Amino acid sequence: FFPGCDAEEDLIGSLASMSTKERIKAIQKRPETIRKKREIRNKVLKEITEKSRRRGARPSSCTQCLQGVAVSFRRFGNTLSEYFHLLWIWHKTLKIIGAEFGTSVLSYFVFLKWLLNFNIFSFLINFSFITIPQFLAAEPNNLSFTGLELFTGAGYFQQTVLYYGFYTNATISKIENGPSYNMQLAYIFTVGIYFVICFLILLFSMAKSFYRNFVNPQAFSGNASKLLCTWDFNITNEKAVKLKQKNLSTQIKEDLAEVNKEVLDFSVMERVFRIAIHLLAWVASLGTAVAVCTGVYFLSINNLKLFMKEHGNDLEGQAGMLVLPVIASLLNTLIPFFFSWLGHLERFQTPGQHIYVTITRIIILKMSVVGILCYYWLNIVATSESQCWETLVGQDIYRLVLVDFIFCLLGSFFGEFLRRIIGTTVFVSLGLPEFDIGRNVLDLIYAQTLTWIGILFSPLLPGIQMIAFFIVFFVKKVSLMRNCQPPRKVWRTAQMTTSFMFLLFCPSFLGVLSVIGVIVWSLKPSEGCGPFRGLSSMYAAVTEWIRILENYAVSKWVVWIYHNLITSELFFFILSSVVLIVTYLYWQIIQGRKIMTKRLYEQINN
- Please give the Cα distance from 96 to 98 (Å, whole number): 5
Residue 68 inside a domain? The answer is no
In tens, the pLDDT along 409-427 reads 888 887 788 888 888 888 7
Residues with Cβ < 8 Å from 378, sequence gap 6 or more?
515, 518, 519, 523
pLDDT of 124:
92
Q: Is the pLDDT at 369 greater than 90, yes or no? A: yes
Whether the model clears a pTM of 0.75, i.e. scores above it, the answer is yes
Angle (CA) 212-217-223 rounded to 5° is: 95
Residue 348 inside a domain? The answer is yes
Find the mean pLDDT for residues 345-352: 76
In tens, the pLDDT along 232-289 reads 555 656 666 666 666 666 666 656 655 555 555 667 787 788 889 989 999 999 999 9
Classified as helix, coil or strand, 80 is helix
Residue 149 inside a domain? The answer is yes
Q: Is the pLDDT at 1 greater than 70, yes or no? A: no
Closest CA to 124 of 555, 485, 462, 571: 462
C-beta of residue 403 within 8 angstroms of C-beta of residue 326: yes
Q: Which residues pair with 172 in a beta bridge?
A: 181
Domain range for residue 261? 95-534
Q: Is the pLDDT at 230 greater than 80, yes or no? A: no
Residue 288 inside a domain? The answer is yes
Please report the DSSP string for 542-598 in residue order. Answer: HHHHHHHHTT-GGGHHHHHHIIIIIT-HHHHHHHHHHHHHHHHHHHHHHHHHHHHHH
Helix and strand element counts for the chain (H, E): 23, 2
Find the mean pLDDT for residues 107-129: 90
- Please give the Cα distance from 408 to 468 (Å, whole number): 10
Q: What's the number of domains the chain is made of?
A: 1
Residue 170 inside a domain? The answer is yes
Residue 602 inside a domain? The answer is no
Residue 396 inside a domain? The answer is yes
Residue 60 inside a domain? The answer is no
